[in-house]
Structures are given as C-alpha cells and as structure tokens.
Amino acid sequence: MDPESKKLLEETYSLAEENNKMLRAIRRSMLWSRITSTLYWVLIIGISVGAFYFIQPYLEQLMGAYSDAKSNLDNIGSLLRKFQN
C-alpha cells in the first residue's frame, strides 16, 4: 500500500470514529429527551388526576348547593304563580 493511500485510509478512519462519537451522543441526547418528555406528561396527567381526586368532594358540595338553590327558586316560582292566579 502506498503512503498516500495509507494516509487517506487513516483520515477516513479518524473521520468515521468522530462521526460515530457524534452519532452516539445524538442518540443518547434523543433518548434522554424522550425520557424527560414522557416523565413530564406523566407528571402533568398525574397532577391533574390527583387534583381532581382531592377537589371532587368540594365540587360535589357545590353541585349539591346549586341543585338546592335551583329547587328553592323553582318552589318560589311556583308559589308566586299560585298567588297570581
């Protein structure tokens, strides 16, 4: 093998090693990006479900108060109609 071909082969080999290192770094970065993105969405969904779980009794009380107020207003409306007739 002549010296020029050997030098070209060594340069090609060093470039291939450098590309391999960069590709491994990119793949590692993509893996960590996927992991953090997945953890982010799991955290967001978990917090949402947890918040609903803890707020649910208060929402049920609020809905009960609303239905009571609505039934009271309906009763008042029916009484007013009776007195008008």
Q: In this predicted model, what pLDDT tens digit does every residue of 35-68 receive, in sequence order? A: 999 999 999 999 999 999 999 989 899 999 988 8
pLDDT of residue 24: 98
- 5-40 pLDDT, tens digit per residue, is 999 999 999 999 999 999 999 999 999 999 999 999
pTM of the model: 0.59
Q: What is the four-CA torsion angle of 66, 67, 73, 75, rounded to 10 degrees?
A: -160
Both ends of the chain: CA-CA distance in Å?
116
Those residues with Cβ within 8 angstroms of residue 9's Cβ, 6 or more apart along the chain or in another chain: 1
Give CA angle at 63 (59, 65), nearest 5°.
Answer: 115
